[in-house]
Structure 1
Amino acid sequence: MTFSIMALSSSFLVFFSFSLYLVFNEDNQIERHLVSFEQVAIQHHALDNAKVVSISPNVTAYFSEQALTERLKAQAPYPLNEVTRYNRFSEDGFLVFHTEFIDKTGTLRPLYLSVGMRALDFGDDSWDSLMLVALALMLMLIAFLRVSLQRMLGGLMSPIADLSEQLKSEKAQRFSVSSSSIDEVKQLADHLNSYTQMKDRLVKQELMFAKYASHELKTPISIILGAANLQAMKQQKDFQARQRQRIIHAAEGMQATVEVLLNIVKQENTEHKNTLTEFSYDDIDVQKSISKRHPDVQFTLKIADNTPLNFPPAVLNMLLKNLIDNSARFTKQGHINVEVTSQAITVTDSGCGISGQNETEHGLGLLIVQRLCASYGWSFTLSNNAHQAGCTAHLERES
């Protein structure tokens, strides 16, 4: 409706302007036509010394002001060598061209050429019919443009409306548009599908993260509660000291875990990713717990003294713990080798490697590693060994 009103309004303005142009142009043509009869009138006067001569069916020449008709006299005097118009938009309007010439006796005589405003028609004789035809053609053009634009806009808006309905629907798993849609709408649907997959992946990661955090916090809490209960059973100083040491060790581990998890969630560690900390073999406390939990697996750790890393101690120990636990989960017997340098960390095992059946289990254990690597500017890859069984987890500093 809005487009129709705008189209009709603009068409009326164009039609009105075009009509005025034709009217004014026709008046100018009549004026030039009237002036062109000057020499013809002078020749007529030389042949016939009459005071009024009909040069053509529409143009009359007057050779004195007294010879003018009463209607023409009423508008006298007329400017010399100019065309004067009166009532140009009226049916009884007229034009008068006033000039002077020297007759054959050497006398200066006036000349008045007159013609009616509507006496001549330089266009089609059926002016009204021509205007009606032009108006009809314009209306047809408007209708054609309206239908064309409606189909074009319908082809553009229909896929967008479909996408809107799919967004409102809770059952829609994948957004789709017709193959005839424009490329921009297809790209929009692809981006929506990409964002949906990203959202689902983030939700799954958050669930995995919550499950991991729950497990990491439940274990030290259970140790603390168990040690506290055991303390109440015996009053021996050695026994009390051992239980107290278990509580302190579990509390410190839980504190480190909570600190790392909060840093990941709040991303507080990004501003410290360029802060280097020197590590040695004594700063890594995972080898003892690994030997106790997996006695059939040979564990080796290679780290040079004073190796600078941009990980805090708690973060480095959590990274190694997760990587080693992941390797130990799929290595019943054999070896797990860990090598730490200032630019790379490598954990190699001789287990079953990566397959489709245990890929999800690998992902559950390594989510925290991916988060930590992303926060501190490290890359993380997990791949099968090329020439032997097992897989290798490789961390490399990007900057």
Structure 2
Amino acid sequence: MFKSVRGNAIKHVKARLLFIFSTIALISSFLVFFPFSMYLVLNEDNQIAQHLVSFKQIATKHYTLEQNDFAQLSPNVSAYYNQEALPDRIKKLIPLAENDITRHRSFFSDGFVVFHSSFTDLQGKQIPLYLTIDARAMEFGDDGWDVLLLISFALMIFLITFLRFSLRRVFDGLMSPITELSHQLQHNPNDNFAVSDRSIDELQTLTRHLNEYKQMKERLAKQELMFAKYASHELKTPIAIVLGAANLQGMKDDPVFQAKQRERILIAATNMHATVEVLLNIVKQENANEANAMRTVSENEISQDKFRTKLSDGVELRFLIEPDTQTNMPEPVLHMIIKNLVNNAIRFTPKGRITVHIDSNAVSVTDTGCGLIGNTETEHGLGLLIVRRLCQSYGWEFELRQNPEQGCTAELNLLPISN
């Protein structure tokens, strides 16, 4: 593929636009100037013909007085009363129509106009009459015509130049915000985009959307980094357990010891499998068809003893699961949500109480710890990012709020199904 010589940058577009409009202006000026000039020439030619016809009565009276074959009626008009007295250039046009105007090369310097008529003298004799005038005898003259053309041409050039200047100013005014945005995008990509308040509304809207997309991109990049850290953290522990148990198996041949290591490997692999499934559901959104499938929540599916081993002294953990509770979240998903929320509450509750309440429409974890501090997506644990994504996948709304008295509450509410 060959690159086009004419680029698509703003300066190239402006140059093409100015060239196109200058060409249009030049053609338009010519189309106006040429018909107008032709109208002046034709009108001048008609005026000369009418001027020539107006000398008929004068020529008739002159013949009555002098009865010559030729008479110079004015500096420009000549009268002939005999066909033989006509100059050779007029004789070549005979016969001429009577009472009619005959033009010969009337638009050229050697052209002339002839008016042929007749009249009756005092003796009753029919006398022919030929009135002639040069085609350019009464025009402005060569110097005047050149001046008129020069003035017209200068006016046309002035109008084209003024049009180019005006068009350039308008184009620069329209394109300057886009040029400014392009410069900011190339040289200051980390700053917010801004245009003048005088810019058109569409460009201001575009600027706002660019800033929103920039913030969204930064937020998504931050979330992806947090997601990667969380996935790494969740997978490192079971992998370490599997590797450690596998190495220990080679140290002893005791059947009881071997069975214990196999059990550790099996539990770690099962937990890792559940974690991978949940993470894949978040990334691939494969759970879209399962969002409406309900199941009954069992008290045994949540291992409360694992959480209690992490509690500080003086912290009480209570689980309240309503009877016949149903949810659309699979067991690994619900377990990961509870684990993340409880671990987050344990982290910020050095003493007091943590209460987990689960029913068909809501899941809440309430603590009496230090409450919300800093950015909830970073300070309160990477697990909250996983909770938010799982809630979005299964149609739940997640909220983390400060308690009126002490601590905070992490709550999930099932959104109503839209028809």
Instruction: Place the TM-score, normalised by the shorter chain, in its bin.
Output: 0.7 to 0.9
Q: 2:134 aligns with which of 97, 111, 116?
A: 116
User: What is the identity, as a one-letter code, of the residue corresponding to 2:356?
Assistant: N
Q: Secondary structure at 1:293's aligned position in 2?
A: coil
The answer to whether the 8 A contact 1:336-1:347 is kept is: yes
Q: Secondary structure at 1:294's aligned position in 2?
A: coil
Structure 1 segments unaligned to the other structure (5+ residues): none
Partner of 1:322: 340
The answer to whether the 8 A contact 1:37-1:55 is kept is: no
The answer to whether the 8 A contact 1:327-1:336 is kept is: no
Shift in Å at residue 177 of structure 1? Answer: 5.2
TM-score by length of 1: 0.78
Shift in Å at residue 285 of structure 1? Answer: 2.4
Equivalent positions of 1:79-228 (< 5 A) are 83-96=101-114, 114-121=132-139, 126-157=144-175, 160-169=178-187, 172-176=189-193, 179=196, 182-183=199-200, 186-228=204-246
Partner of 2:320: 301
The answer to whether the 8 A contact 2:59-2:79 is kept is: no
CA distance in 2, matches of 1:162, 1:328: 51
Equivalent positions of 1:218-297 (< 5 A) are 218-229=236-247, 231=249, 240-270=258-288, 272-282=289-299, 284-294=301-311, 296-297=315-316
The answer to whether the 8 A contact 1:228-1:247 is kept is: yes
1:33 aligns with 2:47: yes
CA distance in 1, matches of 2:405, 2:116: 114
1:23 aligns with 2:34: no
Q: Secondary structure at 1:75's aligned position in 2?
A: coil
Q: Secondary structure at 1:126's aligned position in 2?
A: helix
Deviations 1:375-396, CA, capped at 9 Å, x for gaps:
3343322222346542232343
CA distance in 2, matches of 1:395, 1:39: 105
Pair 367,7 (structure 1): closer, same or farther in 2 beyond 3 Å:
closer
Partner of 2:382: 364
Shift in Å at residue 211 of structure 1? Answer: 0.8
CA distance in 2, matches of 1:141, 1:363: 70
Pair 298,91 (structure 1): closer, same or farther in 2 beyond 3 Å:
same
CA distance in 2, matches of 1:201, 1:56: 97
Deviations 1:29-55, CA, capped at 9 Å, x for gaps:
234435545874554466455676767
Q: Secondary structure at 1:128's aligned position in 2?
A: helix
CA distance in 2, matches of 1:304, 1:77: 126
Q: Secondary structure at 1:362's aligned position in 2?
A: coil
Pair 123,69 (structure 1): closer, same or farther in 2 beyond 3 Å:
closer
Shift in Å at residue 241 of structure 1? Answer: 4.2
Deviations 1:16-73, CA, capped at 9 Å, x for gaps:
4444323321233234435545874554466455676767654556677656442223
Which range moved further: 75-84 or 312-321?
A: 75-84
Q: Secondary structure at 2:341's aligned position in 1?
A: helix
Shift in Å at residue 93 of structure 1? Answer: 1.8
The answer to whether the 8 A contact 2:45-2:135 is kept is: no
What count of residue pairs does the alignment treat as equivalent? 395
CA distance in 1, matches of 2:235, 2:205: 44
CA distance in 1, matches of 2:71, 2:53: 13
Shift in Å at residue 276 of structure 1? Answer: 0.9
TM-score by length of 2: 0.75
CA distance in 2, matches of 1:22, 1:233: 111
Report sequence identity in percent.
43
Shift in Å at residue 138 of structure 1? Answer: 3.1
Shift in Å at residue 334 of structure 1? Answer: 0.5
Which range moved further: 81-90 or 129-138?
A: 81-90
CA distance in 2, matches of 1:281, 1:128: 106
Pair 330,35 (structure 1): closer, same or farther in 2 beyond 3 Å:
same
CA distance in 2, matches of 1:398, 1:279: 19
Report the aligned-residue RMSD. Answer: 4.1
CA distance in 2, matches of 1:142, 1:223: 84
Pair 90,122 (structure 1): closer, same or farther in 2 beyond 3 Å:
closer
1:339 aligns with 2:358: yes
Structure 2 segments unaligned to the other structure (5+ residues): 1-14
Partner of 2:366: 348
CA distance in 1, matches of 2:123, 2:330: 124
Q: Secondary structure at 2:357's aligned position in 1?
A: strand
CA distance in 2, matches of 1:93, 1:180: 67
Partner of 2:9: none
Pair 337,167 (structure 1): closer, same or farther in 2 beyond 3 Å:
same
Which range moved further: 65-74 or 328-337?
A: 65-74
The answer to whether the 8 A contact 2:364-2:410 is kept is: yes
Deviations 1:151-187, CA, capped at 9 Å, x for gaps:
4444555554454444344x65315556477345555
CA distance in 1, matches of 2:35, 2:208: 54
CA distance in 2, matches of 1:145, 1:126: 29
Q: Secondary structure at 2:337's aligned position in 1?
A: helix
CA distance in 1, matches of 2:120, 2:189: 97
Shift in Å at residue 77 of structure 1? Answer: 3.7
User: What is the identity, as a one-letter code, of the residue corresponding to 1:22?
Assistant: F
Deviations 1:184-224, CA, capped at 9 Å, x for gaps:
55555544443333332222212111110011111222333
Deviations 1:314-372, CA, capped at 9 Å, x for gaps:
2222222222222232233302222232x443333333221227662225221112222
Q: Secondary structure at 1:347's aligned position in 2?
A: strand
